[in-house]
Amino acid sequence: MARQEIRSEITGSVWKVLVQPGAKVGPDDPLLILESMKMEIPVTAEVDATVVEVTVKEGEALNEGALLAVVET
């Protein structure tokens, strides 16, 4: 099994965390929602995977490239 890091493509904040470690996700399943400039940006899974770790909390400010979660395929 391979681990994949999911990173932020924007600077903003974590509006809502939608998954917990152990959750099974599929392509396009939302993992969390980021907020930037009053816009909600969903972060989705790219493949079938299991969430290993969520590294952010709701309300947390983050920079582009910040680690959001780790999944295992």
pLDDT of 1 reads 78
| Tokens found for residue 70 | 């780790």
Query: What residue numbers bound the domain in which 55 lies?
Result: 3-72
CB within 8 A of 45, min separation 6: which ones?
6, 25, 26, 27, 28, 29, 31, 71
Tally of domains within the chain: 1
**CATH number, domain containing residue 14:** 2.40.50.100
| Rounded average pLDDT per 10-residue block, the chain, 73 residues | 94 98 97 96 96 98 97 96
